[in-house]
Amino acid sequence: MMKYLYFALYLFGIALTSTTSTTLNAYLEERERLITEEKRERIGSNLVLTEKELQVNGIFMDERKKTIKSAIFNNTIFPPALNFFKTKHLIDESLIFQMISKMPKGGALHTHSTSLVSTDWLVQNITYRPNCYMCRTFDDKYRFRFFEVAPFNPECPWESIAALRRESVNVAEFDKSLYDKFSVVINDPEIQHVTVNDVWDDFKEAFTMIDGLIQHTPVFIDYIEQAMEEFLQDNVQYLEIRADLPMLYNLDGSKYSRSYCMAIYQRQLRKFKLRHPGFSGFKIIVAGDRYLPRSAIWADLQLAETLNHYYPELMAGYDLVFQEGRGNPHLFYINELLAVNNLSYFFHSGETNWQGTSIDNNLVDAILLNTTRIGHGFAISKHPAILQATKERGIAIEVNPISNQVLHLVHDLRNHPAAMLISQNYPVVISSDDPAVWDATPLSHDFYETFMALCGQNDDIRVLKQLALNSLKYSVMSPEDKERAIALWHQHWAVFLDEVLAMTSSI
């Protein structure tokens, strides 16, 4: 009897093992199916890499895995998890950043005219020019200006920078003090910039000081030239610039109309492209100040329409800029915005952590006003209908990782909402917003942060390649110019692959 019982238990064990094995296999197959399905949804997943791209990809992936493994098991710093001000030096030393610096990144579609050129250049070039003055107000704010003869100004007495530099004990320290004024870089951002408003206050103050320098006509001309040089050196071939179009001034105090800026932009671009056929150009998005009254924005819109008529190849459209939380929402200007017929919009929208406010509801108005792209869109994951509309209509979201971190929207970039956009192949472009004032490269630092933090550990150079191509795809270049720009980008990409293999051949 016992031997029959043992035999029965033996048969049951075999059946149980077989059933368990079948169940486990089915589970693992379903698990792999889901993972594969998710991979297919990610940006760049449909790209097929060549043999050379696979070699370069292996180098990128090995380096990234080393960085992540060291952070997990050795408790080393993972740069995107901390404020950019604290980790820039670590990023600059990394092989991944050095490779990304060489990579053709296509276009920077979200930049601002007041922060295109490095603050080093402003200090070493502009403040060393004759007739450059600065003053200090009683509430400890600084202003800069060029004068033939500095006027009497008791509230902020003008002093020659050249004289102050000569009188300084240490010229290098004096120049550093100027650099610090034009930059928002600080040693301890979590303490010195407690709230979003704190950093925005410093942000706007830096722009006010820089404006006094670059609005001087000869400086503005050189500034545009230098901007193109710096972006091209960072392997960016195309720009779309939010520009406020100031009234440029001369030494004698006389001023030009705002449209004169466009004439300078056009002239400098033509000259630059003759010397640099690898540069695809730029376009201007007129930037209105959302703090202004309706009448001023209406005047802005009329100016933009006029410029669109006279500079059709240079003009892209119109946007409302500056801090959404303190400024007026799109709805405040809705009558003016609806009254315009022949102007494309590129709205800053949802640059906030708040939900259900006039700030993130700017996303709703941006879609209803048929925006061409959305600037930042940080809150868009909280608006599923708007998110779906961006995919259905091909409205690209301009993601600016470092800007969002510096302006205290996200601390650890692994938690950036654009990680979800990348994982589901939403129309995304990577840009840099105001790189100069936080001492970032024109675009490479933002691509580094994107690759290391916003992408998954298994995302490879396909996503970098697709994001670069997206920047040209979602630009407002003409179809013919876009085709030429993409062909040029592919040429640069081939050179990039060879450069990475050459620089890593001894590793």
Residue 313: the pLDDT is 96
The answer to whether residues 177 and 267 belong to one domain is no
The answer to whether residues 144 and 112 belong to one domain is no
CA pair distance 351, 408, nearest whole angstrom: 11
The residue segments making up the domain with residue 159 are: 123-192
pTM for the predicted model, two decimal places: 0.94
The answer to whether residues 298 and 321 belong to one domain is yes
The answer to whether residues 271 and 409 belong to one domain is yes
The answer to whether residues 131 and 266 belong to one domain is no
The answer to whether position 2 is within a domain reads no
| b/e per residue 433-471 (b: at least 16 CB within 10 A) | bbbbbbbbbbbbbbbbbbbbbbbeeebbbbbbbbbbbbb
Give the type of residue at 281.
G
Number of domains in the chain: 2
The answer to whether residues 131 and 112 belong to one domain is no
According to DSSP, the residues that pair with 346 across neighbouring strands are: 373
The answer to whether residues 356 and 331 belong to one domain is yes
The answer to whether residues 170 and 241 belong to one domain is no
Residue 20: the pLDDT is 65
User: Can you give the C-alpha Rg of the chain in angstroms?
Assistant: 26
Q: Which of 150, 177, 192 is the last residue of a domain?
A: 192
- CA 198 from chain centre, in angstroms, equals 21
Q: Is 109 helix (H, G, I), strand (E, B) or coil?
A: strand
The answer to whether position 54 is within a domain reads no
What CATH number is attached to the domain comprising 265?
A: 3.20.20.140
Q: Is 428 helix (H, G, I), strand (E, B) or coil?
A: strand
The answer to whether position 203 is within a domain reads no
According to DSSP, the residues that pair with 375 across neighbouring strands are: 348, 398
Contact 368, 330 (CB under 8 A): no
Sort strands 346-349 and 373-376 into parallel, antiparallel or unpaired.
Answer: parallel
Q: Which of 192, 209, 231 is the last residue of a domain?
A: 192
CA pair distance 182, 162, nearest whole angstrom: 18
Contact 306, 335 (CB under 8 A): no
Active site residue 449: no
CA pair distance 395, 392, nearest whole angstrom: 8
Q: What are phi and psi of 238, to 5 degrees?
A: -155, 150
CA pair distance 210, 188, nearest whole angstrom: 23
Q: Quick one: 403 exposed, middle or buried, by C-beta within 10 A (0-12, 13-18, 19+)?
A: buried
The answer to whether position 9 is within a domain reads no
The answer to whether residues 283 and 383 belong to one domain is yes
The answer to whether residues 137 and 270 belong to one domain is no
Over residues 33-70, the pLDDT tens digits come to 999 999 999 999 999 999 999 999 999 999 999 999 99
The answer to whether residues 156 and 299 belong to one domain is no
Give the type of residue at 42.
R
| Alpha-carbon dihedral sign for residues 240, 242, 247, 253 | negative
Residue of 332, 364, 331, 338 lying closest to 350 (CA atoms): 364
The answer to whether residues 106 and 181 belong to one domain is no
Q: Which of 110, 376, 408, 416 is catalytic?
A: 376
CA angle 387, 345, 392 (to 5 degrees): 30
The answer to whether position 35 is within a domain reads no
CA angle 353, 357, 360 (to 5 degrees): 55
Residue 17: the pLDDT is 53
Q: Which of 149, 173, 192 is the last residue of a domain?
A: 192
Q: Which residues of the chain have pLDDT under 50?
A: 2, 4-12, 14-16
Contact 493, 52 (CB under 8 A): no
Sort strands 428-430 and 238-243 into parallel, antiparallel or unpaired.
Answer: unpaired
The answer to whether position 133 is within a domain reads yes
The answer to whether position 344 is within a domain reads yes
Active site residue 376: yes
Contact 449, 411 (CB under 8 A): no
Residue 12: the pLDDT is 44
The answer to whether position 280 is within a domain reads yes
Q: Which of 351, 383, 398, 445 is catalytic?
A: 351
Residue 7: the pLDDT is 45
